[in-house]
Amino acid sequence: MNLPATGRRVLVSGSSRGLGRAVARAFAANGDRVAVHYNSRRTEADATYASLDGTGHVLVGGDISDPAGAARVAEEAFEGLGGVDVLVNNAAVNVRHPPP
């Protein structure tokens, strides 16, 4: 599959802050349209969304650790962007625990 260098439709999971935010911004700065995903950090996701260059971005919320939630997030991103060309699976859970 040959994707164009710009104008892609990109879903970045866990893009409300940190590395996900930086990735979403980089794609948007390159001329791509981005689906900003969040689970519980709506305020931070709104800030990410507002900081993106360009237009046509969407905000999608949901718990992707649940299969039904993941399906809803994918469907919302697909509908909002008119498809998804690139998935950046950045969402993660960091459970702090002492080293073994």
Q: 61-96, pLDDT tens digit by residue?
A: 998 888 999 999 999 999 999 999 999 998 766 667
pLDDT band (50, 70, 90) for residue 38: very high
H/E element holding 8? none
pLDDT band (50, 70, 90) for residue 1: low
Do residues 6 and 32 make contact, with C-beta atoms less than 8 angstroms apart? yes
- Evaluate whether residue 1 is within a structural domain: no
| Max CA separation in the chain (angstroms) | 47
- Evaluate whether residue 17 is within a structural domain: no
Do residues 30 and 3 make contact, with C-beta atoms less than 8 angstroms apart? no
Percent of the chain predicted with pLDDT > 70:
93
Dig out the tokens for 81 from the structure. Answer: 């962007």
82: containing domain = 30-60+76-93
- Evaluate whether residue 37 is within a structural domain: yes
- Evaluate whether residue 19 is within a structural domain: no
pTM of the model: 0.86
60 or 100: which carries more pLDDT confidence? Answer: 60
Specify the number of domains making up the chain.
1
